[in-house]
Amino acid sequence: MLFLVAIGCNFKCKDNKFVIETDENYPLNYHELAGKWILMYPQNYGYEFVFFDDYGAKITLYLNTAKIKFKGKFLLEDSRRIRIFISEMMQKDEITEHGEKHGFMSVKNSYFLFDGRIIKDSKPKILVLNPITIIAEGRNSEGFFEPQIKLRKQ
């Protein structure tokens, strides 16, 4: 006799095999993605992703004394991918919070595509992003992001 006790698991039949998926494999949804997610390293290097309820997105790359900010809209594809359509960007050579409402320039042919998942059983939750395609002004810009980014929910 076999007894299974599973909390936070999802049971599926895939290719005629019984599969148990844990929380970290659950599909993304808009409600859980909304909010601020941050990964910061020493000496002011890191990432900040903010997802809004109106599908807006802001991404900030911290590069020591400089930062690059992107604004746009996001959507979920296949419940595992996040596509962010970038409409504006700004590069600042010094870290300040003054005057950041101005200085954005419009961009075209720019989007970020990430494979993503949320690890729910950690406190705080962790958003794991793996860049798939990074296009800025029609050019491949893969150097903007690490191969895997683990951001903490704020």
CA 142 to chain CA centroid, Å, is 15
CB 24 within 8 A of CB 119: yes
What number is the average pLDDT over the span 73-97?
88
CA 147 to chain CA centroid, Å, is 12
What number is the average pLDDT over the span 72-95?
91
Q: How far apart are CA 121 and CA 7, in angstroms?
A: 11
Residue 10 corresponds to which tokens in the numbers above?
Answer: 């999802």
CB 125 within 8 A of CB 119: yes
Alpha carbon separation from 19 to 11, 13, 107 (Å, rounded)? 6, 6, 44
Residue 60 — very low, low, confident or very high, per pLDDT cuts 50/70/90? very high
Is the pTM here over 0.75, yes or no?
Answer: yes
Residue 3 corresponds to which tokens in the numbers above?
Answer: 């007894």
**pLDDT digit string, tens, across residues 102-118:** 679 999 999 999 999 99
Res 15: pLDDT: 58
Which uninterrupted H or E stretch holds 6?
Answer: none
- For the chain, report the end-to-end CA distance as a whole number of angstroms: 45
Number of CB atoms found within 10 A of residue 71's CB: 18
